[in-house]
Structure 1
């Protein structure tokens, strides 16, 4: 991924830049030819963090701003005006960061629904898995879920998947009137079949997690589906399911890394947790480069 994105540099605006892992990831992205940067925050704090981590930064790239809210606002403004290509979260609460992104007058809202996509690098499967929405839309209705599918498909296609396979997840793979997630999945599946949503993708659901990812589990349960066992995209019912699923991956899978990006905004937006590793943040910068180039 890093090699593929190094041919053209994006400029990343890091909001509240006095964050060791985010700053280190951005400096490494710069050294790899992946990105240039602009750093928003207090110069003294940013320089101190860089020095403590042994990072060489261009102090001319620092924009002096006091306060997390102000740093986020200034970084968003730089991206909105075209002074930077991509927005990245530093040492700041997600709610403060998103408030600047979602501001109706000064933010980075796109024309439709914005949603978050986690990207897993699953080495033993030899492919990437896209998980959405696990960070932004809390309890989406069926219309919003259809838009989340659209955004996730755009992200997957930005990575070169010609026809992404989308699994609409629920606790069970059968439609159950008492389980709304299964009803929503069935509706969106039918919408996709009639080409009302996610054209150029294969969509099916409801599917449980095991039979979405394991062909053997699908065979044992007698599920005949072009998606079962081969899903590229996992669309979750709500933020609770999605966030727990996505964040479990790097802790439970040895060497498991993931990236996090916002799709559907006017410009690429990187959202990672403050607890995410340097590698995850570096991969998020690379993921944003794919989305930036594809215009997704």
Structure 2
């Protein structure tokens, strides 16, 4: 099991090299991350976007574009469509968001003719490495689904399980986050958490998946807090996946981990035919590199 992001990068380096295509690649930090990933032998790169701007940035950062396939598509929608088309046609293994709005890239991903649409719900998975936690923590969904229904939470959880298993988690422990552990009809997160736990016990999420819910954040990550409160579960203090009740909760916890706990992270969209590397413009080149490694490892696992 991959327990930190340095191990993730190492696995990405040791596996078969994946082919990454970047939509609207004319972004400084994105190109820095791609160049580093190429240097570390993680990926082969295809850069789509405004070729003139890509060349200008590459010159500024010392990036040798002769090592990449560059496709001139200045129009953002055309750039996104071309990127997902290459994945659909088997010329690339996964796609990354460059300097364009997420909605443009996702519209291309869901395009019926050339996109990466499946029957699965698309959802965002952020993987965090925090000093005070002993393994990687997968938060979902703090980036796409606003107020997911029970049915949508099933899909979100399935996607996160795929990501966790791709990183070697054999027994996936899930916490369905809520403000309390008792079911309260006025709090949908508690009702949904209990139902997801029931479904897991019935084998809905497959072998090697333990779901606890509803459960509060402190119990999900701290055995000491659980002992004080007399709460028993194999998930307490051992959570792999933390399922968010709403996008606000996921967004808030994720950003608190980044800005207050100095956690390192990587992000990817799951549910399409291939991983979609999606990071914020405010994310560092390091976060983008980790996200490329994450997408690469998941893509390699899905191609087996």
TM-score range, shorter chain: over 0.9
Match in the other structure for 1:78 = 86
Find the counterpart in structure 2 of residue 105 from structure 1.
113
Tell me which of 113, 124, 139 is aligned to 1:131: 139
**Distance in structure 2 (CA, Å) of the matches to 1:277 and 1:39:** 19
Counterpart residue number, 2:296: 289
User: Which stretch has the larger CA shift, 7-16 or 45-54?
Assistant: 45-54
Report the 3-state secondary structure (helix = DSSP H, G, I; strand = E; otherwise coil) of the residue aligned with 1:210.
helix
Q: Does residue 261 in structure 1 map to residue 282 in structure 2?
A: no
Aligned partners of 1:207 and 1:228 also within 8 Å: no
Stretches (4+) displaced over 3 A: none
8 Å contact 1:40–1:64 — kept in the other structure? yes
CA-based RMSD: 1.4
For residues 155 and 207 of structure 2, the distance between their equivalents in structure 1, rounded to whole angstroms, comes to 12
CA distance in 1, matches of 2:112, 2:225: 45
Work out the CA distance in 2 between the residues paired with 1:60 and 1:184.
47
Q: Deviations over 1:33-57 (max 9, x none)?
A: 0001000011110011122223333
User: How many residue pairs get matched?
Assistant: 295
Change over 3 Å in CA distance of 1:192–1:60 after alignment to 2 = closer
- Name the CA distance, whole Å, in 1 between partners of 2:75 and 2:181: 48
Taking the aligned partners of 2:132 and 2:177, their CA distance within structure 1 comes to: 22
C-alpha contact (below 8 Å) 1:153/1:198 kept by paired residues: no
Structure 2: state its 5+ residue gaps.
Answer: 1-7
SS in 2 for 1:249: helix
1:90 corresponding residue in structure 2 = 98
2:274 maps to 1:273: no
> 1:56, 1:172 → 2: CA distance?
54
TM-score (norm 1): 0.96
Q: Which moved more, 1:180-189 or 1:235-244?
A: 235-244
Q: What 5-or-longer segments of structure 1 have no aligned partner?
A: none
Deviation at 1:60, TM superposition (A): 5.5
Tell me the residue number matched to 2:244. Answer: 236
Out of 4, 7, 14, the position equivalent to 2:11 is 4
Q: Secondary structure of the residue that 2:136 maps to in structure 1?
A: strand
Does structure 2 retain, via aligned residues, the 8 Å contact 1:109–1:265?
A: yes
- What does 1:1-296 align with in structure 2 at a 5 Å threshold? 1-7=8-14, 8-58=16-66, 61-254=69-262, 256-295=263-302
Summarize deviations over 1:176-218 as a string: whole Å, max 9, x none: 1110110000011011111123432111011111111111111
Superposed displacement of residue 167, structure 1: 0.3
Question: Aligned equivalents of 2:27 and 2:110: distance in 1?
Answer: 22
Q: Secondary structure at the match of 2:65?
A: coil
